[in-house]
Amino acid sequence: MNKSDNPGLYIHIPFCRSKCLYCDFYSVVSPAAVPAWLEAIQREIPLYNERFQTFDSLYLGGGTPTILAERELAALLECVHRYFAFSPDSEITIEANPEGLNTDKLKTIRDLGVNRVSLGVQSLDDGDLKYLGRRHGSKQALRALHMVRSCGFADVGADLMYGLETQSLRGWKRTVDRVLEFKPEHISCYQMTFEPGAAMWKMKAAGQVRPIAKKLESAFFIWTSRYLGRHGYHHYEISNFAKSPEFMCRHNRKYWSHTPYLGLGPSAHSFQAGRRWWNVRSVEKYCRLLGEGRAPVESAEVLSGEQLELESLLLGFRTSDGADFHASGGRLRAGEALSELQKAGLVKVSNGRIKPTRKGFLVADGIPLMFCGQ
Amino acid sequence: MINKQIRNFSIIAHIDHGKSTLADRLIQHAGLVNERQFRDQILDNMDIERERGITIKSQTVLLSYTSKSGEAFELNLIDTPGHVDFHYEVSRALASCEGVLLLVDASQGVQAQTIANLYAAMEHDLTIIPVINKIDLPSADIDAAKEQIEHDLGLDPEQAILCSAKEGIGIEDVLEAIVTLIPEPPGDVEKPLAALIFDAHYDPFRGTIVSCRVFNGAVRPGEVIRLMFNGTAHKVEEVGVFRLSREPRGELSAGSVGYMIAGIKTVADVRIGDTITLDSNPVSSPLPGFKDVKPVVFSSIYPMSSDDYPSLVDSLERYKLNDAALVYQKDSSIALGQGFRCGFLGLLHLEIVQERLEREFDQSIIMTVPSVRYRFALLDGSEITVENPQYYPDPTLIKSSAEPFIKAAIIIPERYMGVVIKLCLERRGANPKIDYPTPARVEISFDMPLAEVVFDFYDKLKTVTQGYGSFDYELIEYRQSDLVKLDILVNGERVDALSLIVHRDRAREWGVQVCDRLKEEIPRHNFKIAIQGAIGGKIISRSTISPFRKDVTAKCYGGDITRKRKLLEKQKKGKKRMKMIGSVMIPQSAFVSVLKARDE
């Protein structure tokens, strides 16, 4: 459900008021560059005119998309709609941070056609938020959740993080409970990871911060899955929970099923017909290339059959849908590996698909290798 | 008349004492290479040799040198392999020399290998010139080194030459000592040809290139030679000397060292240590010391993927052209499919074959648990030999069993006597003899089963003696022994390629060791893996590999997918070096390593 073959459109808005310590997504803290970026993306959009079918999802991600002024957002969406066709029931998401939100802005966003808000709550514990280098506090996050709801958004997602060294399981439960009070349609629970591009990577190397024990990570993960399950949420991907199937994020599911997507803006990735390409990871370069009338593409790859197969396994085992047993020309030579995995309670087979169990999710990265090669 | 201006010598040293560097300096000094061509360690030209810092295939080079007195000399530097597995090759190379340079590191002094090498050179009654190397190092202690040369080696320390091969200090002195101290080669050109084969290489264009030392007589292109071992005759196409490449000459005569090309197809057609003579005018008896070297360690080679079997066949054939010591025949296994049973001189030889097949022939292979050759007398009166545990006979039919024994000779500083005797006894050593060849040094000899020493005894000995133990052995005889087959089960499935034949009293110990080693070697899977050792149906040891708890990344969106796939592709490649046995991935290295004791 909430899955289609129509392409999705992603727009990367690479601006933040400050960099969060854990984040490795591309963004810059230079509001002065916004106008140039806006001009550039308005040049990028026409490059893909008529190159994609009708879209049925749009995702405004970042960075911090809500950093854009209302008129800037309006200009961006106006341009998007001028060149791209969207189906009437499209899922249109904007990522938002609790700080700098106000009712007027949210209403404008809603009026621009955005029907889904993904709010970067991360935690409702001030200690955690400080640890992560977030600009907002827990009260602000709660206010923001209220505000989004009151502005009439019927599809609200909360992004949370767990497995922080500042966080106990009890503290995590407190955050989850308070978020559940708002009955969000969608909850993403990301385990804290240390990425090479993030500030915390260096802090970890310097011994200032450290990951929690693997055992504890597993416990957080299993607890979260069970607890949200008990509250009616469907654990449909490693880090994602939906209140009901129609609230699974349509856009993100395209990434996981090789459905075409177009990514615009610096560092955005696109995929179409077995080809993946990605934009330069620099606002300045991005603007310059488009200024010269050139596509801001950094590089591209054409996936071989084998690579597509490997990806569909790696992506498949990250979702509750699992991987098609009969797919890939019968190359899924499961045999004994499958029976061992079943015995170990990591996968189950139903409707011709191999699906990871909750425990299987924990080792999802290792499962594809069991089925390929030899 | 013999050429009096020839000197044949070798350099012997403990590992890392600078043998290759000195060889390179001598070559450079002789003007064979200019500064630009000068590549470190010219003689060690196999990758493996460079990496391991040991010489496997010996090389020879002829150096021209004009002495201080103005005489022109031809110096043959004969390089020697440096491991107990190649003991015989070393002895043949030394038999081709009149003298050696015994290298001692100025900061480390006399070490185990120095002594072992000294003994080898003494055995051949060679002139020994001590050379103290690395005198440029801040930690160099020349006086201490000299004292050790006198006390531990019993050589005249005042004769020792000081040098730094790295800095090029003292090289002239070394060369001068070679021509003044090492005697001219004996021999008579008028006598019938007698040349000692000390090495053989394969050249894809010319066939086998035989390295030899002529003791008597002379040989020229066009003449017909006879290999005394098998009596085959070959017409000589070319003779010459080794510079950095081959340099043809009109003849090779008594005293000289060089090569011979005589239409010999593979190196397996010649035997190291054999004597070459003239077919028309043969010598009455061959040169002394010939041994037909037989393999003592056996293991099977299988391709990682059964599709690669034809390519393995081809590679082994080509490899064999250059390694006469390797023997092989077809073999098959339930777990691993079609392959070859191979015989090796020792475990190092086995590892070298493995590495060279992988590097030079690009083969991806698995080698099974090594074994020695056992004998079984059966109740029906027949006797069989088994070097593959797969063919261990039905235990109810066995009347008696026997395994090969060796005489081990170990030389150590006295302070290690206790640990070494303990080690030997653990390895079923018996009949100890203790000797004191030089003060503070002990020579211990033990009768031991070959199976207990071939796999890791030498490594273990080096560990317990902190590198001071030298070790040599010779096969003596087969002795009665109660042998059983130890099976290894992975998740309940017997893996035939991991089976081994062991002494009943040691079975439990081996079982525990193999299970422990496999536990270390096999990566965690996402399910539990049980490893068991069994004799007959009885489980005697077990270990468990617990599944990994968590292995998943939190996020996976657009861009991440390429990155994640690349990571997976890398792991998949690594997995190719694993063999799927049932549902368990066993790394290629596991099969050989199970017999190696851990370094404590």
What CATH number has the domain bearing residue B545? 3.30.70.2570
What's residue A1's pLDDT?
57
Give the integer Cα–Cα distance in Å for A271 and A280: 15
Domain of residue B347 covers 297-367
Which of B189, B182, B277 lies closest to B3 in space, CA to CA?
A: B189
Q: For residues B35 and B66, state if they share a domain.
A: yes
What distance in Å separates residue B458's CA from the closest CA in chain A? 36
In B, which residues are within 8 Å of A335 by CB distance? 583
Residues of B with CB under 8 A from a CB of A: 305, 491, 525-528, 547-559, 561-562, 564-565, 568-569, 571-572, 575-576, 580, 582-583
Cβ-based neighbour number of residue B306 at 10 Å: 12
Q: For residues B28 and B126, state if they share a domain.
A: yes
Q: For residues A226 and A325, state if they share a domain.
A: no
The radius of gyration of chain B's CA atoms, rounded to the nearest angstrom, is: 26
Q: Choosing among B305, B527, B550, which should be mutated to test the A contact, i.e. which has the most A CBs within 10 A?
A: B550
DSSP B415: G
Q: For residues A192 and A58, state if they share a domain.
A: yes
Q: For residues B222 and B315, state if they share a domain.
A: no
Query: Is A269 among the domain residues?
Result: no
Give the integer Cα–Cα distance in Å for B26 and B38: 12
**What is chain B's pLDDT, residue by residue, as a tens digit (600 residues)?**
567 899 999 998 877 788 888 888 888 888 776 555 555 545 445 555 445 444 444 578 899 999 999 999 999 999 876 565 677 778 888 889 999 999 999 988 887 677 777 877 887 889 999 999 999 999 999 999 999 888 878 788 888 999 998 888 999 999 999 999 999 999 899 999 999 998 888 888 888 899 999 999 999 999 999 999 889 999 999 999 988 788 999 999 999 999 999 988 877 788 888 999 999 999 998 988 777 777 888 999 999 888 889 999 989 988 887 777 888 999 988 878 899 999 998 877 888 898 889 888 888 888 888 899 999 999 999 999 998 998 999 999 999 999 999 988 888 888 899 999 999 999 999 999 998 866 667 889 999 999 888 777 888 888 888 877 778 777 889 999 999 999 999 988 888 888 999 999 989 988 998 999 999 989 888 888 999 999 988 999 999 998 887 888 888 888 889 988 888 888 877 776 777 777 788 887 788 777 665 544
Q: For residues B477 and B496, state if they share a domain.
A: no
What CATH number has the domain bearing residue A66? 3.20.20.70
Which of B75, B73, B71 lies closest to B11 in space, CA to CA?
A: B75
Contact between chains at A374 and B580 (C-beta distance less than 8 A) = yes
Contact between chains at A269 and B558 (C-beta distance less than 8 A) = yes
Q: How would you label A22-49 residue by residue, b for 16+ Cβ within 10 Å and e otherwise? A: bbbbbbbeeeebbebbbebbbbbbeebe
Contact between chains at A373 and B548 (C-beta distance less than 8 A) = no
Q: For residues A40 and A119, state if they share a domain.
A: yes
DSSP run (H or E) holding A188 = strand A186-191
In B, which residues are within 8 Å of A301 by CB distance? 562
Cβ-based neighbour number of residue A142 at 10 Å: 17
What distance in Å separates residue A230's CA from the closest CA in chain B? 22
Q: For residues A329 and A246, state if they share a domain.
A: no
pLDDT in tens, A19-35: 999 999 999 999 999 99
What residue spans of A138-213 are helical by DSSP H? 138-150, 169-180, 199-205
Query: Which residue, chain included where needed, has tokens 């309006």?
Result: A74
Between β-strands B470-480 and B99-105, what pairing exists: parallel, antiparallel or unpaired?
A: unpaired
What's residue B396's pLDDT?
92
Contact between chains at B555 and A190 (C-beta distance less than 8 A) = yes
Interhelix angle B171-181/B19-29, rounded to 10 degrees, is 90
Residue A374 has pLDDT above 50, yes or no: no
What's residue B600's pLDDT?
43
Dihedral over alpha carbons A204, A206, A209, A210 (to 10 degrees)? 50
String of DSSP letters for A103-116: HHHHHHHHHTT--E
Contact between chains at A311 and B565 (C-beta distance less than 8 A) = yes
In B, which residues are within 8 Å of A372 by CB distance? 572
DSSP A332: -
Domain count, chain B: 5
Q: For residues A223 and A313, state if they share a domain.
A: no
Cβ-based neighbour number of residue A306 at 10 Å: 13
- List beta partners, residue B471: B410
Give the integer Cα–Cα distance in Å for B3 and B17: 33
Top-confidence residue, B307 or A123: A123
pLDDT in tens, A38-59: 999 999 999 999 899 999 999 9
Of the partner residues A238, A310, A370, the one whose CB lies closest to the CB of residue B552: A238
Between β-strands A275-279 and A297-302, what pairing exists: parallel, antiparallel or unpaired?
A: antiparallel
Q: For residues B66 and B129, state if they share a domain.
A: yes
Q: Choosing among A308, A362, A371, which should be mutated to test the B contact, i.e. which has the most B CBs within 10 A?
A: A362
Which of A221, A147, A226, A149 lies closest to A183 in space, CA to CA?
A: A149
The radius of gyration of chain A's CA atoms, rounded to the nearest angstrom, is: 21
What CATH number has the domain bearing residue A313? 1.10.10
Q: Indicate the residue type of B201.
A: H
Query: Is B187 among the domain residues?
Result: no
User: Which residue does chain A place closest to B548, by CA atoms?
Assistant: A363
What is the total residue count of chain A? Answer: 374
Q: For residues B72 and B89, state if they share a domain.
A: yes
pLDDT in tens, A171-213: 999 999 999 999 999 999 999 999 988 999 999 999 999 999 8
Question: Last residue of a domain, which of B442, B461, B481?
Answer: B481
Of the partner residues A263, A268, A301, the one whose CB lies closest to the CB of residue B562: A301
Q: For residues B21 and B150, state if they share a domain.
A: yes
- Asked if A331 and A317 count as a contact pair (C-beta separation under 8 A), the reply is no
Give the integer Cα–Cα distance in Å for B316 and B361: 9
Domain of residue A321 covers 305-371
Interhelix angle A70-83/A34-47, rounded to 10 degrees, is 10
Q: Choosing among A340, A361, A372, which should be mutated to test the B contact, i.e. which has the most B CBs within 10 A?
A: A340
Q: For residues A331 and A240, state if they share a domain.
A: no
DSSP-based three-state secondary structure for A167: coil
Q: For residues A27 and A115, state if they share a domain.
A: yes
| CA angle B553–A138–A132, rounded 5-degree value | 40
Q: Number of helices (H) and strands (E) in chain B: give both, helices first.
A: 14, 33
Top-confidence residue, B208 or A9: A9
What's residue B268's pLDDT?
78
Tokens of B592: 């050989």
Residue A156 has pLDDT above 70, yes or no: yes
In B, which residues are within 8 Å of A221 by CB distance? 550
What distance in Å separates residue B585's CA from the closest CA in chain A? 9
- List beta partners, residue A270: A277
In B, which residues are within 8 Å of A336 by CB distance? 582-583
What's residue B9's pLDDT?
95
pTM of model > 0.80? no
Query: Which residue, chain included where needed, has tokens 């992975």?
Result: B490
- List beta partners, residue B378: B398
Q: For residues B309 and B397, state if they share a domain.
A: no
- List beta partners, residue B328: B342
Q: For residues B361 and B380, state if they share a domain.
A: no
Contact between chains at B557 and A252 (C-beta distance less than 8 A) = yes
Query: Is B189 among the domain residues?
Result: no
pLDDT in tens, A274-323: 999 999 999 999 999 999 999 999 999 999 988 898 898 899 999 999 98
Q: For residues B152 and B16, state if they share a domain.
A: yes
Q: Indicate the residue type of A71.
A: R
Top-confidence residue, B152 or A99: A99
Q: For residues B578 and B456, state if they share a domain.
A: no
Tokens of A69: 């002024």
What's residue A116's pLDDT?
97
Q: Is the dihedral of CA A161, A162, A167, A173 positive or negative?
A: positive
Q: For residues A220 and A330, state if they share a domain.
A: no
What residue spans of B395-484 are helical by DSSP H? 417-426, 450-454, 457-464
Of the partner residues A214, A255, A365, the one whose CB lies closest to the CB of residue B553: A365
Beta strands in B250-397, from DSSP E residues, in sequence order:
252-253, 257-261, 275-278, 297-303, 327-333, 337-344, 365-367, 374-378, 383-386
SS3 content of chain A, % helix, strand, coil (to 5): 40, 20, 35
- Asked if A347 and A355 count as a contact pair (C-beta separation under 8 A), the reply is yes
What distance in Å separates residue A200's CA from the closest CA in chain B? 16
What is the total residue count of chain B? Answer: 600
Q: How would you label B60-77 residue by residue, b for 16+ Cβ within 10 Å and e otherwise? A: bbbbebeeeeeeebbbbb
Q: For residues B173 and B27, state if they share a domain.
A: yes
- List beta partners, residue B169: B164
Give the integer Cα–Cα distance in Å for B123 and B437: 14
In A, which residues are within 8 Å of B569 by CB distance? 307, 310
Q: For residues A359 and A232, state if they share a domain.
A: no
Q: For residues A122 and A181, state if they share a domain.
A: yes
Between β-strands B127-133 and B161-162, what pairing exists: parallel, antiparallel or unpaired?
A: parallel
CB-based contacts of A306, cutoff 8 Å, min separation 6? none
CB-based contacts of A366, cutoff 8 Å, min separation 6? B525, B526, B548, B551
Cβ-based neighbour number of residue A343 at 10 Å: 12
Domain count, chain A: 2
In A, which residues are within 8 Å of B559 by CB distance? 267-269, 278
The number of C-beta contacts closer than 8 angstroms across A and B is 117
